[in-house]
């Protein structure tokens, strides 16, 4: 066995080492580019289709095999259509890698305090707002389409952004995993589950719930009509939260704790703005 390993090592050329190293760097760079986007779930879906194609050949399923063969025959076009936004980002970010760091406990507490202060102040003044806290699922696609800010998310900054005289008050602000206010005026996806979720007319709540259905982000919503505060998370909408419950729920989410009890205690759904 040892002789075989030594023989293999002696047959390795310097060019082979360079080739493997470059390939490793390229794969690492590609993984960094798709980190923070929805590309990975799509790739997993394509992997399932590829597995179905292989299984159809193994089991002799002619119809499934024919369908999968035609799908993968247009794989290049499918990939370009699915990943056109990510391809543009990749070409624009050549040589740039993004490394997300975990937010320290002290910084997390400061962030919660700033968001709490801003939300309660805006609720008292009936100023509408939507504040997104990024978690594991990256939101770079939404950040790139908004107005980049990259500043410390203080309560004063949030209040100035959502003031009705501000040109940035429409849309949502996104605070990334590094605790930076990454962008404002971000457009979020609207929820399509209104009959199941209950009737509420405000696009702010619909968009917050839409993002919560597609990611694990936490969205704090302030209603400008009623002056109440809601949270959207994991496809659930918790409404009419007081300060104590708002803080407790945000802390639970950012610490990765289960929220089944908090969600089950959510007040009955009523019409909100």
Among 92, 118, 141, the domain boundary falls at 92
User: What pLDDT band is residue 157 in, cutting at 50, 70 and 90?
Assistant: very high
Q: Do the domain assignments include residue 269?
A: no
Assign 12 a pLDDT band (cuts: 50, 70, 90). confident
Residue span of the structural domain in which 242 resides: 105-264
Report pLDDT for 158: 95
Residues 143 and 241 occupy one common structural domain: yes
The residue among 176 and 46 whose pLDDT is bigger is 176
Pairwise CA distance, residues 168 & 171, whole Å: 8
Is residue 17 in some structural domain? yes
Residue 269 has pLDDT above 50, yes or no: no
Count of domains for the chain: 2
Say whether both 181 and 226 belong to one domain. Answer: yes
Domain harbouring 184, CATH code: 3.40.1700.10
* Unique residue bearing structure tokens 């605790």: 179
Tens digit of pLDDT for each residue in 65-98? 788 777 777 777 777 776 665 665 556 555 433 3
Higher pLDDT, 250 or 162: 162
Q: Is residue 119 part of a domain?
A: yes
Q: How far is residue 122's CA from residue 224's CA, in Å, rounded to a whole number? A: 8
What pLDDT is stored for residue 99 in this prediction? 35
Has residue 271 been placed in a domain? no
Task: Tell me if 97 is assigned to some domain.
Answer: no
Is 99 inside a domain boundary?
no
Any idea what the Cα angle at residue 145 is, between residues 143 and 148, rounded to 5°? 55
Question: Is the predicted pLDDT of residue 19 greater than 90, yes or no?
Answer: no
Digit-coded pLDDT (tens) for 34-63: 665 566 677 777 788 888 878 888 888 888
In terms of DSSP H, where are the helices of 127-232? Answer: 140-145, 155-162, 194-197, 203-214
Q: Which of 92, 121, 142 is the last residue of a domain?
A: 92
Question: Does 273 fall in a domain?
Answer: no
50 with 116, same domain: the answer is no
Q: What is the pLDDT of residue 107?
A: 79
The predicted model gives 89-113 an average pLDDT of: 61
What whole-number percentage of the chain has pLDDT above 70?
A: 77
Q: 266 or 27: which carries more pLDDT confidence?
A: 27
Q: Among 14-18, 24-28, 193-197, where is mean pLDDT lowest?
A: 193-197
83 in the same domain as 16: yes
Q: How far apart are CA 45 and CA 57, in angstroms?
A: 19
**Residue 257: which pLDDT band, with cuts at 50, 70 and 90?**
low
CB atoms within 10 A of CB 136: 11
């Amino acid at each position: 066995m040892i002789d075989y390993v030594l023989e293999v090592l002696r047959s390795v050329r310097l060019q082979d080492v360079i080739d493997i190293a470059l390939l490793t760097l390229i794969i690492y760079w590609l993984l960094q580019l798709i980190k923070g986007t929805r590309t990975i779930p799509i790739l997993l879906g394509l992997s399932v289709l590829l597995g179905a194609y292989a299984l159809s050949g193994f089991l002799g399923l002619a119809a499934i095999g024919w369908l999968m063969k035609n799908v993968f025959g247009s794989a290049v076009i499918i990939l370009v259509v699915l990943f056109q936004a990510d391809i543009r980002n990749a070409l624009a970010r050549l040589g740039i890698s993004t490394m997300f760091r975990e937010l320290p406990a002290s910084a997390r507490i400061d962030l919660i305090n700033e968001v709490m202060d801003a939300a309660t102040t805006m609720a008292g003044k009936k100023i509408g707002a939507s504040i997104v806290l990024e978690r594991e699922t990256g939101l770079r696609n939404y950040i790139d389409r908004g107005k980049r800010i990259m500043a410390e998310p203080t309560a004063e900054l949030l209040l100035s952004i959502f003031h009705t005289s501000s040109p940035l008050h429409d849309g949502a602000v996104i605070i990334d995993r590094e605790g930076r206010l990454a962008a404002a005026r971000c457009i979020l996806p609207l929820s399509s589950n209104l009959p199941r979720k209950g009737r509420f007319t405000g696009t702010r709540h619909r968009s917050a719930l839409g993002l919560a259905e597609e990611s694990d982000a936490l969205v704090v919503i302030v209603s400008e009509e009623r002056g109440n505060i809601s949270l959207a998370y994991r496809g659930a909408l918790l409404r009419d939260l007081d300060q104590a419950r708002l803080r407790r729920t945000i802390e639970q989410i950012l610490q990765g704790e289960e929220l089944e009890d908090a969600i089950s205690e959510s007040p009955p759904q009523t019409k909100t703005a």
